[in-house]
Amino acid sequence: MKVQPYLFFSGNCEEALEFYKKALGAEVQMMVRYKESPEPPPADKVPANWGDKIMHANVRIGETQVMASDGCPQEGAGFKNFSLTISAAKEADADRLFNALADGGQVQMPLGKTFFSPRFGMLTDKFGLCWMVGVFEQSAQAAA
């Protein structure tokens, strides 16, 4: 069994995916635009001018598969009550990834040493998605 996040960007999915490509090395493995769908979405659910918007995308970030879409605009954007967590291999990787994601976003907790990680921080990126970035494998091994 797998649990995979499905993110709805309410109209700026393509911009977000380009940002994650640069910031995280994300790889878009599959993408379907609304105009490419073999079954058109209900007219009352998707605006007529959304043909070029992303209906569905599969994206690989590191070892994780994430799904994304522009979603329906009436749903509105909002990533609330969860964070995506990046487990970096080294402190330098955590720094690089955190700084890339923080570009245009807001840092809630700057990177620093904690009791559970030699390097940990939290931020909200410019798309409103919350991230926790840290080095967890080493701290888990040190505790063992």
Q: What is the chain's alpha carbon radius of gyration, rounded to the nearest angstrom?
A: 17
Helix H or strand E segment including 29: strand 27-33
Percent of the chain with pLDDT over 90: 75
The reported pLDDT for the residue numbered 138 is: 54
Is residue 92 classed exposed, middle or buried when 0-12, 13-18 and 19+ CB atoms within 10 A define those classes? exposed
Question: Which CATH number is associated with domain 84-143?
Answer: 3.30.720.110
Residue type, 43: A
pTM of the model: 0.88
Q: Give the pLDDT mean for 14-35.
A: 97
The CATH code that applies to domain 6-75 is: 3.10.180.10
Q: State pLDDT tens for residues 27-71.
A: 999 999 999 999 888 778 788 888 999 999 999 999 999 999 998
The band of 139, judged by pLDDT with boundaries at 50, 70 and 90, is: very low
Domain residue ranges of the chain, discontinuous segments joined by +: 6-75, 84-143
Amino acid at 132: M
